[in-house]
Amino acid sequence: MRHTTRLPGFLVLAFALVGLPGLAHAQYKAPLFPGQAPPTQNFSAPDRTFSLNVPMNWVPKTFPDQPDFVEFRIEGPGDAWLQVRRLKVPNGARPRQVLARAVEYRLKKLPHYTELRRRDINMGGANGASVLATFWYQGNAEYPRAFEEIYLINGTEAFEFHFECFELAAAQISGALDRVYQSFVPHPPAPSEQSPNPDEDEDPLDKIPF
């Protein structure tokens, strides 16, 4: 029986990393954002295909030659980033199928690819599938990286999320990442222009009865 959760999956990765070699001996570091959640900024894709609320230190970068691609560079520990890409998929495509293809043809080729978990999710009302994994950057065991890749599908449109960071920083960033995932809105409505309050231009003396 398949399990679908509405909660983003990267917290699973943070806990799963405890069992990986070397992490048990790493010094504990305080959370990146202790206490209440940090201030966020709303980001809408240039073509308004999606919007997200991201922490102020998540710097968006767009590319004129890739209008369906946005990268958020995360200023802080872990050399981390989140990439969001909009794709076209065949009608009837399922998130698990698209994810399996990505793993088979691309992700499994990463050096020392180690898959931790796959599961079904729901973000912004769209069903999706997620894979959590680690790999060695350039094949070097001293530079292990953790990542989560998500595919959301709505008809013939898909959103690909790829988050990646230095493995030991995953637990510090996971809370902020979860909040970003929860704020995802596909095709947000265009902001409406606020009409001026008709009472603002009225002379208060006009309301005095004579």
DSSP-assigned letters across all residues of 144-206: EEEEEEEEEEETTEEEEEEEEEEGGGHHHHHHHHHHHHHT-EESPPPPPPPPPPGGGGS-GGG
Contacts of 132 (CB under 8 A, 6+ apart): 9, 10, 12, 13, 16, 115, 116, 117, 118, 146, 147, 148
Only one residue has tokens 């799963």, namely 16
pLDDT band at 37 (very low <50, low <70, confident <90, very high): low
Ranges 53-57, 62-66, 189-193: which has the least confidence:
189-193
Only one residue has tokens 């793993």, namely 103
Q: Strand, coil or helix: what is 79?
A: coil
Predicted local confidence at residue 78, as pLDDT: 76
Predicted local confidence at residue 110, as pLDDT: 97
pLDDT, tens digit, 9 for 90 and up, residues 68-99:
999 999 988 779 999 999 999 999 999 999 99
Question: What is the chain's mean pLDDT, rounded?
Answer: 81
Q: Strand, coil or helix: what is 134?
A: strand
Domains of the chain, first to last: 4-24+45-185 (3.40.1000.10)
Predicted local confidence at residue 197, as pLDDT: 55
Can you list the positions of beta strands (E) in 45-168?
A: 50-55, 58-63, 66-74, 80-88, 114-123, 126-136, 144-154, 157-166
Distance from C-alpha of 71 to C-alpha of 78, rounded to nearest angstrom: 16
Give, as one character, the DSSP assignment of residue 22. T
Predicted local confidence at residue 166, as pLDDT: 94
Q: In this structure, which amino acid lies at residue 39? A: P
* C-alpha 181: how far from chain center: 5
pTM for this prediction: 0.77
pLDDT, tens digit, 9 for 90 and up, residues 117-166:
999 999 988 999 999 999 999 999 999 999 999 999 988 999 999 999 99
Phi-psi group of 53: left, alpha or beta (phi > 0 → left; psi -120 to 50 → alpha; rest → beta): beta
Predicted local confidence at residue 188, as pLDDT: 87
For residue 22, is pLDDT > 70?
no
Average pLDDT value for residue range 174-188: 92
% pLDDT > 90, the chain = 59
Predicted local confidence at residue 31, as pLDDT: 41
Helix H or strand E segment including 10 = helix 10-16
